[in-house]
Amino acid sequence: MPFGNTHNNFKLNYKVEEEFPDLSKHNNHMAKVLTKELYGKLRDKQTPSGYTLDDVIQTGVDNPGHPFIMTVGCVAGDEESYTVFKDLLDPIISDRHGGYKPDDKHKTDMNFENLKGGDDLDPNYVLSSRVRTGRSIKGFTLPPHNSRGERRLIEKLSVEALTSLDGEFKGKYYPLKSMTDAEQEQLINDHFLFDKPVSPLLTCAGMARDWPDGRGIWHNDDKTFLVWVNEEDHLRVISMQKGGNMREVFRRFCTGLAKIEEIFKKHNHGFMWSEHLGYILTCPSNLGTGLRGGVHVKLPKLSTHPKFDEILNRLRLQKRGTGGVDTASVGGVFDISNADRLGSSEVDQVQMVVDGVKLMVEMEKKLEKGEAIDSMIPAQK
Amino acid sequence: MVIANPPHASGLSLSSFSGSSVCKQVTMANPISRLMSGRSSAVMLASVGLAGLGLASGYILTETRVTAAERRRMFPPSADYPDLRKHNNCMASALTPAMYGRLRDKVTPNNWSLDQCIQTGVDNPGHPFIKTVGMVAGDEESYEVFEELFDPVIKDRHNGYDPQTMKHPTDLDASKLTSGMFDERYVLSSRVRTGRSIRGLSLPPACSRSERREVERVVVTALSGLQGELSGRYYSLGELSESEQQQLINEHFLFDKPVSPLLTAAGMARDWPDARGIWHNDDKNFLIWINEEDHTRVISMEKGGNMKRVFERFCKGLKQVETLIQERGWEFMWNERLGYILTCPSNLGTGLRAGVHIRLPRLSKDARFKKILENLRLQKRGTGGVDTAATGDTVDISNLDRLGRSELMHGQTRAADRSQVQTVMDPTACCDLT
């Protein structure tokens, strides 16, 4: 990454123990896995684009983590990071993705027709539905490592692809650095605008460099399909709408992505993907589908039920506040989404959300009537 | 660039290139020419006789093995030149696209690049009223390898000082300081600080953990050799007990992990708090910060107005530390052009800031205060240090210059002008302020 010491090869003149980071107070996946021996084995390796071990782990060294929240503690700088540093990343991936093995194969299924139901979530409870994922463009390094030239070319290619879309996908691109005040206001009101990362998890990995150069937001005229360019990944693709028609959201998601991918492929820049890891993204936690499909749902009674967390666990779902990751819930409204990313397909994961939320809404209704829900508690999926 | 001619490149003969000759510079647009000039594995595969363009270009797209150096050259410098149109810092004023083109691919011996020097200035556009420097050095050699950019920045920041033609005087002989005793009804405390870098080790933006720990070892070992009024002890930031931490806070000695984006964007907070610490003497008037924004920051201070004594202790302490590190084969980074070498170009020369906390309730409100300071070559800050506001009527007044005048001259300016300023405060004194 173009800052810090990571190309400083003087460090190789020192013994491993003199360079090995002090991880004694750390609680993240990287700190759990990285031993002195492993560090010694990998420390003089580089990916073809020059990304080193120290680059991969810097964010985890700088952010010791929290006793209750286990962060990943490392990032990839390019596609090859996942192979050159597999001795470090495979165990982390396994830890983070439920025991996924180094020789496992990931299933990709972006055919929305395979989703069962999902168009009938009760809008009295389900306020909005959303599916997001990320995509990386082959031939470029990732946000922690890329140069200004690369980032700008990624933006150029993305804008060309997006502005060629039509029909329900006809839209407009707003580059962050030349946005008017009025446009900015509008994007904030629509909850579309993303800002310069302040989280040290991201800034220590070099992802906020040169802000806002090469960054922007594209959305369709209907405001139901949105793409972030060059934030934490090359592309973050979001499909959303008010109400509970997750099926429609997923349809638009799959259709839009397929169109975009086709255009990129024509320019000889497909998406980064492998049989083992699925879609390749900056953070190992987003490998596989990189998909987070979720709803904002009113569950004031269920959320205070002693078994709420267990129910979520069994349904393979996770809860967040309505501000997104690391926020609290407001007024009993939760953001409920799939917990898995790697090892199951897009359809599988959205299916889990659809089925799980449907069940939880039923439970909520039962609790409203003062009835028990014990018989409804599902088996572990 | 020589392009290898693989023996069995069926369907990939040179004639399929549109007119590009074998020796022409490879550009990004032609994936086939990239195959020809690319890594040996790609060339080998082509030579095994892969049928068809499609397969080969498919190979390129999935298996491109391009070295970091090759990758950089694929983008011309103009593609990487930062957008500095909204920027107001010394780096942005000096860095032209042509200059960037000449310097982009250079590195210092420890692989520190121009992009790394300027990252902090790109990420922090600055403020219309405050012109920051906008770049840092990663090592001593940065100032040479990138002198085409550093020199104009230094000139801008240091009042026209030209490193190409001028020499910086160093003078740490405290006995030459005249007067320097201030009226303690006005001057609450006196302080002199500077920084020193250990030659041979990379600076905070670029250092590896092992280098940073080496700095700590070298300095702490030297400091343990100090005696008498200078004898003291070291507190490693990562191992402070609660009570030690509280004590250091109460004494205003503790420094914290930098939050200013000027510093974090330059990579100076990496690995915090590894190898960072504070050393101070038992008398608590000589203090050294290790591995904060520089290898070391050396501070001599005390309550009251005895600037002479503060400066004496400062010079004595610095000389002793220098002797102690030299005994072990180390030395400070220094040269005739730039004086003492520190991370930020603004601290070159003496790196010295000599100042007082002084109560100037009437003068500070006078409309001419700013001009007076300017003429005296002094600057004011709030009592919290740089970028803070004054509390009450107390201001922090210190020297403006770092490069071009010696330590002694700075101290003297302060001493003489401090007494001038005091005289001015007295409404019965006559003083022509025009």
Give the number of other CB atoms < 10 A from CB of residue B97.
12
Cβ–Cβ below 8 Å for B71 and A50:
yes
Give B159-209 pLDDT, tens digit per residue: 888 988 888 877 888 777 777 788 888 899 999 999 999 999 999 999 999
Cβ–Cβ below 8 Å for B80 and A4:
no
For helices A86-96 and A53-62, angle between their N-to-C axes, nearest 10 degrees: 40
Shortest CB distance from B80 goes to which of A15, A62, A147?
A147
CA distance A350 to chain B (A): 30
From chain A, pick out residues whose CB is under 8 angstroms from the CB of B83: 177, 213
B83 residue type, one letter: D
Phi, psi for residue A140 in degrees, rounded to 5: -125, 155
Query: Cα–Cα distance between A140 and B59 in angstroms, integer?
Result: 16
pLDDT of residue B250: 85
Of the candidate ranges A28-32, A130-134, B396-400, the one whose mean pLDDT is the lowest: B396-400
ω into B76 cis (within 30 of 0): no
Radius of gyration of chain B (CA): 28
Q: Which residues of A are annotated as a binding site?
A: 128-132, 191, 236, 292-296, 320-325
CB pairs under 8 A between A and B: 125
Both structure tokens of B83: 């957008």
| ipTM value for the complex | 0.88
Q: Which residues of B are annotated as a binding site for ATP?
A: 189-193, 252, 297, 353-357, 381-386
From chain B, pick out residues whose CB is under 8 angstroms from the CB of A152: 79
B75-157: CATH topology is: Transferase Creatine Kinase; Chain A, domain 1 (1.10.135)
The verdict on A17 touching B (C-beta cutoff 8 Å) is: no
pLDDT of residue B181: 85
Q: pLDDT: is B60 or A256 the higher one?
A: A256
- The residue assigned the tokens 């730039």 is B338
Q: Is the pLDDT of residue B41 over 90?
A: no
Residue of chain B with shortest Cα separation from A62: B271
From chain B, pick out residues whose CB is under 8 angstroms from the CB of A269: 61
Cβ–Cβ below 8 Å for A19 and B112:
no
Long-range contacts of A37-44 (CB under 8 A, 24+ apart): A38/A87, A38/A88, A40/A16, A41/A87, A42/A85, A42/A87, A42/A88, A43/A11, A43/A12, A43/A16, A43/A19, A44/A12
Above pLDDT 70, what percent of chain A? 97
Q: Which of B210, B263, B264, B272 to mutate to test the interface with A (most CBs of A within 10 A)?
A: B210
From chain A, pick out residues whose CB is under 8 angstroms from the CB of B269: 62
The domain locations on chain B are 2-62, 75-157, 174-432
Query: Taking the model in full, what pTM does it have?
Result: 0.83
Contact B59, B47 (CB under 8 A): no
Q: Choose among B350, B361, B354: nearest CA to B309.
A: B354
> Residue A135: which H helix or E strand, with range?
strand A126-135
Cβ–Cβ below 8 Å for B123 and A139:
no
Both structure tokens of A197: 């990362």
From chain A, pick out residues whose CB is under 8 angstroms from the CB of B115: 2, 147
Cβ–Cβ below 8 Å for A2 and B265:
no
> Residue B236: which H helix or E strand, with range?
strand B232-236
CA distance A282 to chain B (A): 18
Give A264-320 pLDDT, tens digit per residue: 988 888 899 999 999 999 999 999 999 999 999 999 999 999 999 999 999 999 998
Give A349-378 pLDDT, tens digit per residue: 999 999 999 999 999 999 999 999 888 888
The verdict on A149 touching B (C-beta cutoff 8 Å) is: yes
Query: Cα–Cα distance between B134 and B156 in angstroms, integer?
Result: 12
Instruction: Return the sign of the alpha-carbon dihedral for residues B101, B105, B111, B115.
Output: positive
Contact B204, B337 (CB under 8 A): no
Of the candidate ranges A156-160, B149-153, B246-250, the one whose mean pLDDT is the lowest: B246-250
Give A244-270 pLDDT, tens digit per residue: 999 999 999 999 999 999 999 888 888
Residue of chain B with shortest Cα separation from A148: B80
Query: Cα–Cα distance between A248 and A129 in angstroms, integer?
Result: 9
Q: Choose among A365, A347, A373: nearest CA to A107.
A: A347
Quickly list DSSP for B326-350.
Answer: HHTT--B-EETTTEE--SSGGG-BT
Residue of chain B with shortest Cα separation from A17: B210
In words, the CATH class of domain B174-432 is alpha beta
Q: Is the pLDDT of residue B353 over 70?
A: yes
Q: What is the dihedral of CA B79, B81, B86, B88, to 10 degrees?
A: 180
Between strands A317-320 and B286-290, the pairing is: unpaired
Q: pLDDT: is B67 or A202 the higher one?
A: A202
Q: Choose among A150, A254, A265, A288: nearest CA to A209.
A: A150
